Structure 1
Amino acid sequence: MISARNIEKNYGKLQVLKGVDLAIKKGEIVSIVGASGAGKTTLLQILGTLDHQSNPKDSELRINEVEVTELKDKDLALFRNEHIGFIFQFHQLLPEFTALENVCIPAYIKRTDTQKAEERARELLDFLGLTGRYHHKPSELSGGEQQRVAVARALINNPSVILADEPSGNLDSESADVLHKLFFQLRKEFGQTFVIVTHNEELANMADRKLTMVDGQIVKN
């Protein structure tokens, strides 16, 4: 599902990633842990094609059998929209849009028929326990509800891979526990592959595998 070889990332003279190798199977839930500054989020952004490695000619990044470093910007954006879903710590919902509208945004970008997109969004919101909250804006939802809307948004295009960056870092312990269990329920229902960067040890230990990053490298696999 995901195969990365010799991924490096430099910001000027600062080397953040130092030749990371990674292989993740379809349907796996993998957590990535490590101290702040270890390179976890940078790695996740490169895996999600939101950023590029500094050594594209000397490295590989394959997702769903596609070598993404060979894609041009437009094709890469289309690939990202179709194959990768993102969940962030601060959910990043658009405040002026309702829950339903926020969930539909990736589908609209994909040019999915509006009726089909909204039907799928309602199915996901129902599955996530948000029936009756379709037309509420983010300010009218609790933190846990907002994060579940963000999860629905990540799932709307049925992506192969879900990348989550500190997804429960902004939640209280009860909401975090609900979200953690939800990831495994989603894997069972939809078969997605999850890569989760987290400081939450409980979530990290629930994963099929826990990878530890230190100083820009994976030291425990």
Structure 2
Amino acid sequence: MISAKNLQKFYGKLQVLKGVDLHIKKGEVVSIVGASGAGKTTLLQILGTLDHQSNKADSKLEINGTAVTQLNDKEMAVFRNQHIGFIFQFHQLLPEFTALENVCIPAFIKRTDPRLAEERGKELLDFLGLKERYHHKPSELSGGEQQRVAVARALINNPSVILADEPSGNLDSESADILHQLFFQLRKEFGQTFVIVTHNEELADMADRKLTMIDGLIVNP
């Protein structure tokens, strides 16, 4: 599902990634842990095509059989929209839109028929226990509800892989536990691959594999 070799990232003279190799199978739930500054979020952003490795010529990144480094910017944006879902620590919902509208935005970008997008959005919100929240704006939702809306948004285009960056970092312990269980329920129901950057040891230990980053490298691939 994801194959990466020799990923390096420089910010000026600072080398954040120092040659990361990574292989993740379809349907795996993989956690990535490590101290702040180890390179976890930088790696996730490169895997999600939100950023580029500094050494394209002598590195490799394939996602679901596509060599993403060979795509131009427009092709990469289309690929990202169709194949990758993102869940962030802060839900990043647009405050002026309802829960359903927020969920449907990636589908609208994909130019899915609005009726079909809304049907799929409602199915996901129902699945996530938010059937009564279609028309509520983010300010009218609890933190846990907002994050579940963000999960539905990540799933709307049936992506191959979900990338999550500290997804429960902004939640209370009860909401975090619900979200953690939800990831594994989603894997069972929809077969998605999950890559989760987290400081939450409980979530990290639940994963099929826990990878540790130290100083820009994965030390237990």
TM-score range, shorter-chain basis?
over 0.9
Q: Which residue in 2 is equivalent to 1:168?
A: 168
Taking structure 2 as the reference length, the TM-score comes to 1.00
Taking structure 1 as the reference length, the TM-score comes to 1.00
List, as ranges, runs of 4+ consecutive aligned residues in structure 1 with deviation greater than 3 Å. none
Alignment of 1:57-136 (within 5 A): 57-136=57-136
Counterpart Cα distance in 2 of 1:137 and 1:178: 21
Counterpart Cα distance in 2 of 1:54 and 1:186: 34
- The DSSP-based 3-state class of the residue aligned with 1:87 is strand
The amino acid of 2:191's aligned partner reads G
Deviation at residue 146 of structure 1 after TM alignment: 0.1
Structure 1 gaps, min length 5: none
Alignment of 1:152-191 (within 5 A): 152-191=152-191
Deviation at residue 220 of structure 1 after TM alignment: 1.8
Q: How many residues align?
A: 221
Q: Which residue in 1 is equivalent to 2:218?
A: 218
Counterpart Cα distance in 1 of 2:80 and 2:176: 27
Deviations 1:141-173 (A, max 9, x none): 000000000000000000000000000000000
- The DSSP-based 3-state class of the residue aligned with 1:132 is helix
Identity of aligned residues (%): 85
Structure 2 gaps, min length 5: none
Counterpart Cα distance in 1 of 2:202 and 2:211: 14
Deviations 1:99-146 (A, max 9, x none): 000000000000000000000000000000001100000000000000
Q: Which residue in 1 is equivalent to 2:200?
A: 200
RMSD of aligned Cα (Å)? 0.3
Counterpart Cα distance in 2 of 1:151 and 1:67: 26
Deviations 1:156-200 (A, max 9, x none): 000000000000000000000000000000000000000000000
